Amino acid sequence: MVVVALTPLARLHAALDEALVCCRPEQAPLPPAEANRLWYGTANLLRGGVCELAEEAALGCELERYAGATEGMEPALRDGRRLCADLTSRLKMEAPSLYAVVKHSLKRNGDLRTHRGCERAVAEIGLLISTHAVLTMRERDALLLAARPLTTTASTSRRLPSLVLLCRGFFSPGYGPTNGWRSRTPESRTALALAEPWGGAAAADAFARRLSAAGPDLQQHSRALRAALPFLELPRRVWRRSASEGVTPPDAHQDGAAAEAALTSPADAATLLIALATSGPAGAEAASALREWACGALEADWREAGDPLAATPPLARGSAAAVCMYV
């Protein structure tokens, strides 16, 4: 009997197929142990799949240099494209709200024409599916509200690192009220407990209402503002949590009027962003710049726990997406 070893991308494809079943709206949340198993397993497979694409690209450059052609010698690129096409096709039918966010990964990565575009798309789609699969319905709403504007407004160089911070820092399953905190991990230094991140969907709805009431001049910048909000507001609440020695701050579990009130505090990120946006186009640009700054600062804080470049396989180190999987 001949045993055929599965490639990293094939194993990743199978794992994401399993995770996608859990993304269906009618699926009950996974038990904590199962959620962590799925999330950690997929995170490791994502590293392997993205690195397989990056290593093939590196080898392809060498082959082209010496042999002059690589036609028909790119099986990883073919498998990566198939993975993205299969998963987005299923999402469109089985989890349309997640599909509405994920679909931008194909378009904004050049429709997967190159290895680099395919690496980013595989990483982005894998992060969103594997994280969405282990959350409750309200947590999923909060994730998608934060991720949607990022997928449409963030620059190519910042989109994937921003999604890594969202999916592995703010929305990973280790922070749930039933799972407790994962101690001594880089993520735990920058993340809130998962229960109602930044006020949850209620706070996001409250922020959207404030934008709608502010008039057309502010609404035109709503995507940039919504993309920046979690990266500025969450670290503030992390600091408040640590300053109170683990006691949940009073604005962490909110609904309706309480979320609305918390988002009008003169010290919160939403008030800062709206003040910037109302100052004109330069203020809206400043809000986007603040998001870039916050992402970079949070990413640097994570990197203090270890060098992701050194952890990345040597042939894959030319790929920013591959290195990002080791942050």
* Averaged pLDDT in 10-residue chunks for the chain of 327 residues: 72 95 89 82 92 91 50 81 95 95 90 91 95 84 83 86 82 47 39 42 65 70 75 67 48 46 57 78 80 78 71 90 88
Write down the pLDDT at residue 223. Answer: 72
Write down the pLDDT at residue 190. Answer: 42
Distance CA 196, CA 182 (A): 17
Write down the pLDDT at residue 310. Answer: 85
Q: Are 84 and 121 in contact (CB under 8 A)?
A: yes
If we measure between CA atoms, which residue out of 161, 164, 254 comes closest to residue 207? Answer: 254
Write down the pLDDT at residue 127. Answer: 94
Residue carrying structure tokens 């299923």:
90
Distance CA 33, CA 278 (A): 46
| C-alpha separations of 224 from 220, 277, 278, 289 in Å | 9, 10, 13, 10
Write down the pLDDT at residue 243. Answer: 54
Q: Per-residue b/e over 75-108, b at no fewer than 16 CB within 10 Å? A: ebbebbbebbeebbebbeebbeebbebbebbbeb
Extract the tokens encoding 135: 């959350």
Residue % of the chain over a pLDDT of 70: 68
Task: Kindly give, in sequence order, each residue whose CB lies less than 8 Å from that of residue 274, ignoring residues fewer than 6 positions away.
Answer: 210, 211, 214, 218, 225
> What is the greatest pairwise CA distance in the chain?
71
Cα torsion 140, 142, 146, 152: sign: positive
Instruction: Please return the burial class of 69, using the count of CB atoms within 10 Å of its CB with bins 0-12, 13-18 and 19+.
Output: exposed
Distance CA 234, CA 252 (A): 10
Distance CA 30, CA 22 (A): 8
